[in-house]
Amino acid sequence: MTRAGALLAAAIAVLAPVAAGAHEVLHELERDRAISLRAYFADGEVLAYAQYELYSPADPKIPYQKGRTDRSGWLSFVPDVPGKWRVKVVDQTGHGLDLEVDADAALAAPPAQGRSAPAFTTAFVLRPLVGLAAIAAVFGGLVAVYRRKGTRP
Amino acid sequence: MHVPDGFLSPQITIPAYAVWAPLWAWAARRHFGRAAVESLPVIGTLTALAFVIQTIMIPVPGGTSTHLVGVTLLALLYHPLVAFVCESLVLLVQALFFGAGGVTVLGVNALAMGLLGPLAGWLAWKALHRVNGKVAVFVAAYASIQVATLAVAGALGLQHALSPRYFPLPVAVVLPAMLVPSLTAAGLAEGAYTVFALSLLRKANLRGVTLD
């Protein structure tokens, strides 16, 4: 090997890992830093594979993140600034939600342990009863007022 | 079927409110005055029933669900504007207690599900009831759901055309996604429910409940 050949071989040996590293995809793993949100209907059915958009408080016009919920209706994001992040989940049938998530509060809270699928809770049963009571109150009140005043105009 | 808060811009919600609010006030004054006191218990019960059945989701293949509306019955028994007033109340309660729909989109939802749907159903019934009573009721309820669905899909499609930031899906995606469950499940269920409920009400022979 000539001197020039030896130098070239040495240069390749030094630079090859760097060149290879330019295309290498690295990763960083952090736990309990992301905020996860699950979208589901009142009866517990999840919005699986629903389209969503996420807006950072730093730029409320251009989505910070776009994608689809997973099979279980979850989406996750890692906030890079504190404040209220806007999440919009859109089902093809026009259902969905549009809400703000407080990144400060979510990051300060301890990670949820063993959280399971949404289930039928007391609120799930009570809320329809509250709704029924409200409708009954409107019509009952109207009848009571009319009966008190007399039905003649 | 409800459009949620945040999916429609003020360009649509404000004109919808401008139509809905005076129409609601006029309809309430016209149909819920003292002369209606005898009908109010039945109307109230049917409104509560509509509220309940709108909370029951019917699973549809493809990972979504649909639900009945249930106010065509009120349109056929009393008047489409009675259905409009009652459905508006149902939507308000749902927005306040359930987070279903929303206050900003109340005008749009009420006009679609409370007015256009029941009005179409009532017109279909008017056209067919002399041919066959039960078929006319079924077709009326079926048509009511389809028209309400079309109106909601139209509002969402219009929003996408005006500003996709509010609603990112085009009408070409939303329309079939909403109409297929509506045509194959919700419409049929609404028709069956309306025919069944009407036959029960007839048997009960309640005062003020007639369908000529």
Say yes or no for a CB contact (<8 Å) between B98 and A138. no
Q: Is A143 on the interface with B (CB under 8 A)?
A: yes
Residue B129 lies in a domain: yes
- The CATH number assigned to the domain holding B105 equals 1.10.1760.20
Asked if the structure places residue B210 within a domain, the reply is no
- Give the number of domains in chain B: 1
From chain A, the residues in CB contact with B100 under 8 A are 42
Is residue B2 in some structural domain?
A: no
For position B78, what pLDDT does the model report?
Answer: 93
Q: Give whichever of B96-105, B143-152, B166-175 has the largest mean pLDDT.
A: B143-152
Contacts of B32 in chain A (CB under 8 A): 142
As a whole number, mean pLDDT of residues A18-34 equals: 67
Q: What is the ipTM of this complex?
A: 0.79
pLDDT-based confidence at residue A23 (cuts at 50, 70, 90): low
pLDDT of res. A114 = 45
Count CB pairs under 8 A between chains A and B.
115
Residue A132: which pLDDT band, with cuts at 50, 70 and 90?
Answer: confident
Number of residues that make up chain B: 212
Domain ranges of chain A: 32-118, 120-153
- Counting other chains too, the contacts that A66-72 makes at CB distance below 8 Å and 24 or more residues apart are A69/A38, A69/A39, A72/A38, A72/A46, A72/A48, A72/A117
* Percent of chain B with pLDDT strictly greater than 70: 95
The residue length of chain A stands at 153
Q: With bands split at pLDDT 50, 70 and 90, how would you rate the model's confidence at B96?
A: confident
Q: Which domain holds residue B77?
A: 10-204
pLDDT value of residue A116: 47
Report d(CA B116, CA A145) in Å as an integer: 31
The alpha-carbon gap from A90 to the nearest alpha carbon of chain B, in Å, equals 8
- Is B141 touching A (CB cutoff 8 A)? no
Distance CA A99, CA A101 (A): 7
The pLDDT of A103-120, averaged and rounded, is: 56
Distance from CA of B120 to the nearest CA of A (A): 22
* Closest-CA distance of chain B to residue A43, Å: 7
Using a CB–CB cutoff of 8 Å, tell me whether B1 touches chain A: yes
Q: CB distance from B173 to chain A under 8 Å?
A: yes
Mean pLDDT, chain A, rounded, equals 78
Q: List, for residues A33-79, the tens digit of each pLDDT value.
A: 789 999 988 778 888 889 999 999 988 888 899 999 999 999 999 88
CATH class of A32-118: mainly beta
Segment A89-108 mean pLDDT: 81
- Contact yes or no for B6 and A98 at CB 8 A: yes
When comparing pLDDT for A122 and B114, which is higher? B114
Average confidence score pLDDT of chain B:
90
B209 lies in some domain: no
